[in-house]
Amino acid sequence: MANTFNTSTNSCTAPSTKLKKFTPHNHQQQDEVSLPGLPDHIAQLCLSFVNPTLLYSVCHSWRRLIYSPSFPPFFSLYALLNHSQSSNSNSNSIEFFNFDPISSTWDLLPPPPPPLSVILHHPSFISRNFSIQSVSFSQNLVLLAATTHNFSPALSHPLIFNPLSKTWSFGPRLATPRRWCAAGAVRGAVYVASGVGSHFSNDTARALEKWDHDCHGEWKKKSRLKDARYSRDAIDAVGWRGKLCMVNVKAKEGIVYNVDKDEWEEMPEGMLYGWRGPVAAMDEDVMYVVDEAKGALRKYDHERDLWEEIMESEKLRGAQHVAAAAGKLCVVCGENGIVVVDVLASPGRLWVVDLPNGFEALRSMANTFNTSTNSCTAPSTKLKKFTPHNHQQQDEASLPGLPDHIAQLCLSFVNPTLLYSVCHSWRRLIYSPSFPPFFSLYALLNHSQSSNSNSNSIEFFNFDPISSTWDLLPPPPPPPLSVILHHPSFISRNFSIQSVSFSQNLVLLAATTHNFSPALSHPLIFNPLSKTWSFGPRLATPRRWCAAGAVRGAVYVASGVGSHFSNDTARALEKWDHDCHGEWKKKSRLKDARYSRDAIDAVGWRGKLCMVNVKAKEGIVYNVDKDEWEEMPEGMLYGWRGPVAAMDEDVMYVVDEAKGALRKYDHERDLWEEIMESEKLRGAQHVAAAAGKLCVVCGENGIVVVDVLASPGRLWVVDLPNGFEALRVHILPRMSRPDFDFPAVPSTSME
């Protein structure tokens, strides 16, 4: 059994422990390897969590990787540029560019089909520029309106550029092609409102049309505007919290379209008052305005209906258009080019992206990006190459070319089983305190009666699923734990040791000493991450056995027997809360003492504690929220025919100790559904559940692991150390082992 017990469905079988070493390569060979020792698809998954700027600076193969179709795309900037009027080129000529923030380069997009002929300036209209209107829609760039040289609409269909495929396509035909309009996107749909087509029309000036996110439907007409006042100019409608907000800045008129109600509403007074330049909404949730006159950046507070100033800069003056994504604003600022503002930084931080020579920006969009917040500033383009090292040097580096903390972050997303098999440094890394711990198995073992050792001697062991080895836990603090499991005066009875998993710790609660007294006056707690033992708060009544369990971050002890039988103890319920500092608190008492006869594993399930005396077939449920005892459902009790555990306190499993059948409880139908049956599961005594796995103590069969997420269910056996038998098991985080090197005591686990 070599599994991390994590939430993946990776096999729990033992990985190969053959150590793959970094072997010497020439530079070219090293440069082609994504990650030495890992298959390409695993290496790519690993590297996908590293900032692309770092990957770009390491080697050629990683540089190629971040631009490959299989790698998660990062944010970049798309801009509509035209030749500046000061250049010698045609100032009505537009080009579509992409700015790559990793390499800090501008690239031309493929030309659209057919060539787009538009006019931006005309000597007959000295005081007016003609616009090109575009929106970001489903990670695509969509052009919606422009004017041709003969003053007609340039687009009969939306013109769409997909950055991932680098292709242009057309959307459904516009009901009325427009020269300009109000255009925006919200909740996965594009909206076009008002505007002017080949000539002015009152119908067009009041119309609102919607193109849904499926990209295949037609434009649908929605509620019309009351009048034609928004048809005078091109307007960027801003999608914000299920609404489309649009303002004619020159006329200081504003209106809001409610998508859910399909109604037009008045714009809040404060919103309109502060709308003094281009506006964009981050994730359609937070609106920002750039005051084109003052160069001030402000954020809208919808609760107070006002705009709060974030920063002011000369560079932001003359703002014409703004795009928002991933905590960045990209602002077209005329002569200042494109200014990028990091609004997540405190205070706000800005920098300028220089345009290609002879061009000026019309519109910008941040598009086709992943969820990282990589800066749009240019990283260093100095190429760090893999340089020759001897084996020892290579083996000490987590990832060549990356700082250790970045390398560890990167490797933390790779299955530890894979990391273990690559090299010594990665093997040590997965056991270091700074690396996310994988799950492993903790067991209370005692010497088997067939061995020559004392059968009352118990040991605490940890089974490492990666190296497939058993290790002794550090000994508990003094006084030494002296317990009895068997006694010649009680031939048919074994004395129990009771333990629970609690806040990722192992907690011992009850046991019996050789003089038949309670062995524990305080809970004995083992923390796997620190590898230390400690004591919890003193038990009001130490017990030899009881009903013990944990639910919702608290430990519960009920009923049982102390140094002698007491009706008060047999009916008591005590709770120790998750803060680990409080005392035991008394809760609602049981009605009688019938659950004091045997040790019982109380199972935490959906805010309740379920406990059954299997021999007497008596069951009861404690409701944590109500602090009340309830009758156990009939079907639950009927099928409770062996040890039970709940996965994440949500799904209960029982192992029928007589038949070896594994069943899952269906609370809606109050019955147990059979998952599988196996001879190996017969004689089940205890079960633990975590991360889709059940670990079952099965007497002579040792510990059986069942993958309940597999279909059909899959099981295998973990062999115990020679001369030992298992009493109880728990699934908890692995211990840190900074001195780890090679496995010393391998298990002969078989699937």
Q: What is the CATH number of the domain that holds 581?
A: 2.120.10.80
Q: Which residue has the tokens 């790559």?
A: 100
Domain extent for 352? 112-359
pLDDT surpassing 50 at residue 124: yes
pLDDT for the residue numbered 672: 97
* Residue 679 included in any domain: yes
Categorize the per-residue pLDDT at 409 as very low, low, confident or very high, splitting at 50, 70 and 90: confident
- 586: helix, coil or strand? strand
How far, in Å, CA of 735 to CA of 506, rounded?
12
Whole-angstrom distance, CA of residue 285 vs CA of residue 105? 31
Residue 20 has pLDDT above 50, yes or no: no
Same structural domain for residues 396 and 335?
no
User: Band of the pLDDT at 400, cuts 50, 70, 90?
Assistant: low
Reported as a single tens digit per residue, the pLDDT across 246-272 is 998 776 899 999 999 999 999 999 999
Do residue 117 and residue 225 come from a single domain?
yes
Q: Are residues 323 and 212 in the same domain?
A: yes
Residue finishing a domain among 359, 380, 405:
359
Query: What end-to-end distance do the CA atoms of the chain give, in Å?
Result: 7
Instruction: Give the pLDDT score at 78.
Output: 93
**How many residues comprise the chain?**
751
pLDDT of residue 367: 59
238, 143: one domain: yes
Percent of all residues in the chain with a pLDDT value above 70, rounded to a whole number:
82
Q: What pLDDT is attached to residue 126?
A: 52
Please report which confidence band the pLDDT of residue 407 belongs to, taking 50, 70 and 90 as the band edges: confident
Considering the domain architecture, whether residues 531 and 652 belong to the same structural domain is answered as no
Last residue of a domain, one of 601, 632, 663: 632
The verdict on 447 and 577 lying in the same domain is no
Residues 568 and 621 occupy one common structural domain: yes
* One domain, residues 316 and 456: no
Give the predicted TM-score (pTM) of the model: 0.54
What per-residue string of b and e applies to 583-603 under the rule 16 or more CB within 10 Å gives b? ebeebeebeebebbbbbbbbb
651 plus 702 within the same structural domain: yes
| Residue 715: inside a domain | yes
Split at pLDDT 50, 70, 90, the class of 453 is low
Looking at the structure, tell me whether residues 396 and 308 fall in a common domain: no
82: in domain: no
Task: Give the other-Cβ count within 10 Å of 744's Cβ.
Answer: 9
Band (pLDDT 50/70/90 cuts) for residue 49 is: confident
Per-residue pLDDT of 369-397, as tens digits, reads 333 333 333 333 232 322 223 333 334 44
178 and 207 fall within a common domain: yes
Do 129 and 228 sit in the same domain of this protein? Answer: yes
Return d(Cα 211, Cα 213) in angstroms, integer. Answer: 7
Write down which residue in 340, 359, 378 finishes a domain.
Answer: 359
Residue 378 lies in a domain: no
Residue 507 lies in a domain: yes
Q: What is the mean pLDDT of the chain?
A: 83
Looking at the structure of the chain, the number of domains it has is 3
- For the record, the structure tokens of 322 come out as 């703004």
* CA separation for the pair 30, 538 (Å, rounded): 60
Beta bridge partners of 651: 647
> In whole angstroms, what separates CA 317 from the centre of its chain?
40
Q: Is residue 373 part of a domain?
A: no
Q: Strand, coil or helix: what is 167?
A: strand
Query: Rounded distance, CA 643 to CA 570, Å?
Result: 22
78 belongs to a structural domain = no
Cβ pair 337, 354 in contact under 8 A: yes
pLDDT of the residue at 11: 33
For residue 76, is pLDDT > 60?
yes
Among the ranges given (142-146, 339-343, 404-408, 628-632), the one the predictor scored with the smallest mean pLDDT: 404-408
Residue with tokens 């000295």: 126
Q: Domain for residue 282, yes or no?
A: yes
Residue 179: CB partners within 8 Å, gap ≥ 6? 130, 145, 146, 147, 151, 152, 153, 154, 195, 196, 197, 198
